[in-house]
Structure formats: C-alpha cells, structure tokens
C-alpha cells in the first residue's frame, strides 16, 4: 500500500493545477459530444413534425409510421440490452459510480446513449436531453481518465467535470452545470473540484454558444417584479409544489414498478408501449410529444384558459411517466420543468380569476413554479434557482424564486419524499443485486465537509468512531491544511480528507456521509 498511497497523496498536492488543464480538455470534448447530441435532437424534433404532417394524409402512411415506431422501439431495446447503464436518465448511474457502487463501461455507454436518446426523440417520447447530456459528459470525462491512465481519485474529479460540461452545453447554463455537479454529483465544494468544474463548464458553454448562439433556452417576458402584497401566494405555491413534487416522485417510481412487475412483457415490449402511445398522440394530441419546449412557449405567449392548462398538465404528466418508466434512454429533468411551468400557469390563472391577481404576473408564476417544482423533486434548490435564472435570462425574480424553492423543498422533506435520483439509484442497485462493483485495489481520496449540528462537529478526532479500513489523511480548514492528530478538534466547514481502498469506497462513503451530514437533534 505504501508506494501507491504516497503517490496518490503527492499527486493530490498538485490537483488544483493539474485539474484545471484536464478540466479544459474534458470540457472541450464533452461540450463537443453534447453539442452534437443537442443538434441531433433538434433535427429529430423537426423531422418528427414533418413526418406526422406527411403521414396523416393517408391511412397507409399512418400504418407505415406505426411500423417505423415499432422498429425504432426494437432498436432502442437492443441498445439497452447491449448496455443496460443507458436506461433512463443516466444521472442515478453517475451518482452510483461516484460512490463506487457502479462501474459503467464508458466506450459502450457513449454511442448507445447518444443514438438511443436520438431515436427516442425521433419517435416523440416525452423525455429530456439533460440527463443523457450529463451522463454523456461524465463518460467523456471517464474516457479521458482512462486514456491518461489516471487513478480513481482523479477519475471522480473528471467525471464531475464531464457532468458539469454536459449540463452547461445542453442548456447554455454554465453556473447551473457547476452547481448541479457539486450539489448533486460530487456532493462537496472543495477548491480543487470547484476550479476544475468551472473550467470544464465554461469551456463547454463557450463551444456551444459559438455554434448555437448565446440566447437563453426560454424566451418569455417578465413585465414586472411581483409586488410584496402577493408574497402570500408564493408560500401557497411553494407548499402546493412540494406536495405535487412528492406525488410526482411516488408516481414515477410506481409506474417504473408496474413495468418491472409486468413479467409477461420483455424489455422490447415495454419500450414499445411509449412508442405506440407516441404514435397515437402524434395524430390526436401532438402537443404531448417531445421535450415540451414549444408548450412552454405557447403557455407564456398566449392566453390559455384554465381548462386547457390543466388538461395539458395532466396529459404531459401521464405520458412522460409512461415514457420514463419503460426504461427508454432519456431524462426527466426538462419534462419536470414543463410540468412545473403548467402548475404555475394553472395557479396564476386561478389567482387572476378568484384573487384579483393582475394578468401581467402569470409569467412570473410560470417561472417561479419551474424552480420550485425542480427543488421539490430533485432536492437541489441552489441548482434550481440558478438554472431557471440562466434558462430564462431573468435576474429580477431571485427573491421570489428563493421563497418558492425553499417552501417547496421544506414541504417535500416534511412529506418524507426522497430525492428522485436517490430513489432511482436505489431501485437500480436493487435490480442488479450487487451494490458494489469489483475492486481493482486502487487507493481513493475522498473529501467530506463537516456540517453544523452533526456528530463530528466540535469533537476530538480520537473520540470519533471512524469507518474501518479508512485512513484520515488531512483536515482542510480554509487555506490551512492540518495533519490530524487525536487531540485535533473538528469544526463546521472543515474538509476531512480520507484515503481508502477502492473496494471499501461505498461503505466508507456512506458512513462518512452519516458522520458529517446527519443532524444530531438537541446537540
């Protein structure tokens, strides 16, 4: 262990400089892959509209299109069978890899996820591009790590860089890419990872902006900031979003469970279900197809009656659940933003009709509900606030957005609804039956931040029951690095650096998270 351990620690001392250069490399490559993916999905959406317009002119053409949809479903099923890690969003798979519980093969995931997501969008499934973009970016980071022969510690940094670059390029949202990768993927804010992730995210955003322009994803006007007399409505909206977010998580998992229990359906038949539904909806309610971007544009630029808003909300909710539950490669990130927008639209329309809300504020509530619904479901409020700001280009709603997001977050937490990606990862591990991948014996450095009110706050190192097979390497306190001793006392904000064997990473990670993150009431 000595030589490997000393090498790992010595290289970690130069992480900040090394990782900035590697962040640029990963950001450029991941940005290019996700840019191509985003462009292909755009073509798929345009082709779908043209195909539906052409096919509806003849019953024979309609029949041919349904045959094509079944063929697309069969190809997607083959891709999922070839590489099961491409199923669904891809974010739970990445989180599983970050904790050492999964080990996807990057060169298999990249092409399979790329083409699988493209075919799903070409078929009209109500799935998003964000989860696949994050997974594609992370797999580029893993490929760079393997190509440069980096260790597991550095590989985790490059996975995080790739994930950040993926979200940045997908949504022209570099700050949200940074925040999501730190808040949801890496789960700490050390200087080393922050600098490298920012570098990767900005590089990917520059590349995407150069090719596609720098306009925000959503283009709708916010005429005025919401006056204080309507702030009670923000709390009400936050509570409603929290309740509906908890229901969304439960329903999404329930639909996935129903698919799993349908033993009489093989993987191909399960994926055929949403493709057939997309075929039917394409000739009856084409608004339900695709990511839903056009629906938000319609909601914010036209005067929709309440009945239409509720109908579109329920229809999109059911269809997106059917699509995602089937295991088809595609995300729920963007679809849930669409649902949040329609919840906000319905809430504001009711406010106009019954509570004297001025119509000019409907778009305000659409924007606020998008962020609040995201916070309730994903449980990453900072990412939600920054993401909505970057996707809409509006800074004027930060206070209102924060109130709604926090209220939704607290409500969902009180309802004991787990974050959706955490629940999806747990389901994935249960299906696999093996929560831990095979070990290759490498040494892994991990960082854990001491939070207020936890077991280790204010406690001496010698009085803490540390996980087995875990070496306490250093304690970072601001710019100071402390060599831990038995009489060293830990304080809020300290970053604990541990070293462990790869095979022990999942267990040590979970135990350290409990020590540093779980609140001790009455402390």
Q: Are residues 381 and 455 in the same domain?
A: no
HEC readout, 92-155? HHHHHHHCCCCCCCHHHHHHHHHHHHHHHHHHCCCCECHHHHHHHHHHHHHHHHHHCCCCHHHH
Question: Which comes out higher in pLDDT, residue 292 or 36?
Answer: 36
Distance (Å, whole) CA 283 – CA 287? 10
Q: Are residues 365 and 390 in the same domain?
A: yes
Q: Are residues 163 and 242 in the same domain?
A: no
pLDDT digits (tens, 9 = 90+) for 72-101: 999 999 999 999 999 988 899 998 888 888
Q: Are residues 245 and 126 in the same domain?
A: no
What average pLDDT does range 183-197 have in this prediction?
A: 76
**Which domain-ending residue is among 167, 188, 212?**
212
Residue 519: pLDDT band with limits 50, 70, 90: confident
Q: Is residue 397 part of a domain?
A: yes
Rg of the Cα trace of the chain? 23
Q: Is residue 223 part of a domain?
A: no
Q: What sign for the dihedral angle of Cα 120, 121, 124, 128?
A: positive
Please enumerate in sequence order all residues whose Cβ is within 8 A of that of 106, keeping only pairs 6 or more positions apart, or say none. 139, 140, 142, 143, 146
For position 434, what pLDDT does the model report? 54
Q: Are residues 281 and 175 in the same domain?
A: no
Distance (Å, whole) CA 164 – CA 87? 20
The percent of residues in the chain predicted with pLDDT above 90, rounded, is 44
What range does the domain containing 486 cover?
438-517
Lowest mean pLDDT among 170-184, 242-256, 280-294: 170-184
Question: Which comes out higher in pLDDT, residue 386 or 153?
Answer: 386
Residue 447: pLDDT band with limits 50, 70, 90: confident
Q: Are residues 162 and 243 in the same domain?
A: no
Distance (Å, whole) CA 182 – CA 365? 28
Q: Is residue 236 part of a domain?
A: yes
For position 342, what pLDDT does the model report? 94
Domain CATH number, residue 420: 1.10.3080.10
State the total domains in the chain.
3
Q: Is residue 205 part of a domain?
A: yes
For position 13, what pLDDT does the model report? 57
What average pLDDT does range 209-238 have in this prediction?
A: 81
Q: Is residue 76 part of a domain?
A: yes
What average pLDDT does range 161-178 have in this prediction?
A: 88
* For residue 482, pLDDT beyond 60: yes
Q: Is 501 helix (H, G, I), strand (E, B) or coil?
A: strand
For position 253, what pLDDT does the model report? 93
What average pLDDT does range 10-36 have in this prediction?
A: 83
Q: Are residues 314 and 411 in the same domain?
A: yes
Question: Which comes out higher in pLDDT, residue 386 or 215?
Answer: 386
* For residue 222, pLDDT beyond 80: no
Residue 162: pLDDT band with limits 50, 70, 90: very high
* Average pLDDT score, the chain: 86
For position 61, what pLDDT does the model report? 92
What average pLDDT does range 5-28 have in this prediction?
A: 74
For position 505, what pLDDT does the model report? 82
pTM over 0.85: no
* For residue 417, pLDDT beyond 50: yes
**Which domain-ending residue is among 183, 212, 241?**
212
Question: Which comes out higher in pLDDT, residue 301 or 373?
Answer: 373
* For residue 290, pLDDT beyond 90: no
Residue 173: pLDDT band with limits 50, 70, 90: confident
**Which domain-ending residue is among 399, 427, 455?**
427
Lowest mean pLDDT among 14-23, 139-148, 280-289, 311-320: 14-23
**Tokens for 107?**
């060169």
* For residue 8, pLDDT beyond 60: no
Q: Are residues 41 and 173 in the same domain?
A: yes
Residue 522: pLDDT band with limits 50, 70, 90: low
- CA-CA distances (angstroms) from residue 199 to 176, 281, 467? 13, 42, 34
Q: Are residues 174 and 261 in the same domain?
A: no
The percent of residues in the chain predicted with pLDDT above 70, rounded, is 91
* For residue 38, pLDDT beyond 80: yes
What average pLDDT does range 22-32 have in this prediction?
A: 93
Q: Are residues 30 and 142 in the same domain?
A: yes
Q: Is residue 418 part of a domain?
A: yes
Backbone angles phi, psi at 446, to 5 degrees: -135, 150
For position 28, what pLDDT does the model report? 94
Q: Are residues 244 and 390 in the same domain?
A: yes
pLDDT digits (tens, 9 = 90+) for 332-385: 888 999 999 999 999 999 998 888 888 888 888 998 999 999 999 998 888 888
Please enumerate in sequence order all residues whose Cβ is within 8 A of that of 306, keeping only pairs 6 or more positions apart, or say none. 346, 349, 350, 353
* For residue 502, pLDDT beyond 80: no
Q: Are residues 255 and 390 in the same domain?
A: yes
Question: Which class for 428: exposed (0-12), middle (13-18), buried (19 or more C-beta within 10 A)?
Answer: buried
* For residue 438, pLDDT beyond 60: no
Q: Report which secondary-structure segment, H or E, holds 495.
A: strand 495-501
Q: Is residue 489 part of a domain?
A: yes
* For residue 220, pLDDT beyond 70: no
* For residue 435, pLDDT beyond 80: no
Distance (Å, whole) CA 79 – CA 515? 40
* For residue 3, pLDDT beyond 70: no
Please enumerate in sequence order all residues whose Cβ is within 8 A of that of 331, keeping only pairs 6 or more positions apart, or say none. 88, 89, 90, 91, 127, 128, 129, 130, 131, 132, 133, 134
Q: Is residue 264 part of a domain?
A: yes
């Amino acid at each position: 262990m000595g030589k490997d351990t000393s090498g790992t620690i010595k290289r970690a001392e130069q992480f900040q400089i090394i990782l900035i250069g590697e962040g640029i490399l990963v950001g450029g490559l991941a940005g290019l892959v996700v840019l191509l993916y985003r462009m292909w999905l755009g073509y798929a959406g345009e082709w779908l509209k043209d195909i539906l317009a052409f096919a509806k002119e003849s019953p024979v053409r309609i029949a041919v299109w349904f045959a094509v949809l079944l063929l697309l479903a069969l190809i997607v099923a083959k891709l999922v069978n070839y590489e099961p890690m491409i199923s669904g969003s891809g974010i739970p798979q990445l989180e599983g890899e970050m904790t050492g519980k999964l080990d996807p093969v990057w060169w298999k995931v990249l092409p399979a996820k790329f083409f699988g997501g493209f075919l799903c969008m070409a078929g009209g499934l109500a799935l998003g591009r964000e989860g696949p973009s994050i997974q594609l970016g992370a797999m580029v980071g893993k490929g760079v790590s393997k190509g440069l022969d980096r260790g597991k510690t550095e590989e985790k940094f490059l996975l995080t860089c790739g994930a950040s670059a993926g979200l940045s390029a997908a949504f022209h949202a570099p700050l949200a890419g940074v925040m999501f990768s730190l808040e949801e993927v890496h789960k700490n804010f050390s200087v080393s990872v922050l600098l490298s992730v920012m570098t990767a995210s900005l590089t990917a955003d520059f590349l995407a902006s150069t090719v596609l322009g720098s306009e925000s994803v959503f283009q709708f006007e916010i005429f005025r900031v919401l006056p204080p007399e309507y702030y009670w409505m923000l709390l009400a909206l936050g509570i409603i979003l929290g309740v509906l977010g908890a229901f969304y998580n439960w329903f999404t998992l329930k639909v996935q469970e129903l698919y799993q229990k349908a033993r009489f359906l093989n993987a191909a038949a399960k994926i055929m279900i949403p493709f057939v539904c997309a075929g039917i909806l394409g000739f009856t309610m084409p608004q339900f197809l695709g990511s839903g971007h056009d629906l938000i544009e319609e909601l914010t630029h036209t005067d929709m009656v309440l009945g239409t808003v509720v109908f579109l909300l329920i229809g999109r909710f059911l269809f997106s659940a059917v699509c995602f539950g089937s295991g088809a490669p595609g995300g729920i990130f963007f679809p849930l933003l669409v649902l949040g927008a329609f919840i906000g639209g319905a809430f504001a329309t009711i406010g106009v009709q019954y509570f004297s809300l001025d119509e000019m504020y409907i778009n305000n509530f659409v924007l606020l509900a998008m962020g609040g619904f995201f916070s309730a479901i994903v449980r990453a409020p900072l990412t939600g606030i920054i993401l909505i700001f970057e996707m809409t280009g509006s800074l004027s709603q930060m206070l209102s957005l924060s109130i709604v997001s926090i209220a939704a977050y607290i409500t969902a937490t009180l309802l004991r609804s787990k974050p959706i990606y955490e629940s999806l990862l747990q389901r994935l591990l249960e299906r696999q039956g093996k929560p831990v991948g095979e070990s290759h014996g490498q040494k892994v450095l991990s960082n854990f931040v001491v939070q207020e009110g936890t077991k280790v706050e204010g406690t001496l190192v010698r009085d803490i029951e540390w996980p087995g097979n875990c070496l306490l390497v250093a304690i970072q306190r601001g710019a100071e690095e402390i060599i831990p001793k038995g009489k060293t006392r830990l304080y809020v904000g300290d970053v604990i650096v541990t070293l462990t064997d790869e095979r022990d990473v999942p267990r040590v990670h979970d135990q350290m998270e409990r020590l540093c993150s779980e609140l001790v009431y009455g402390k």
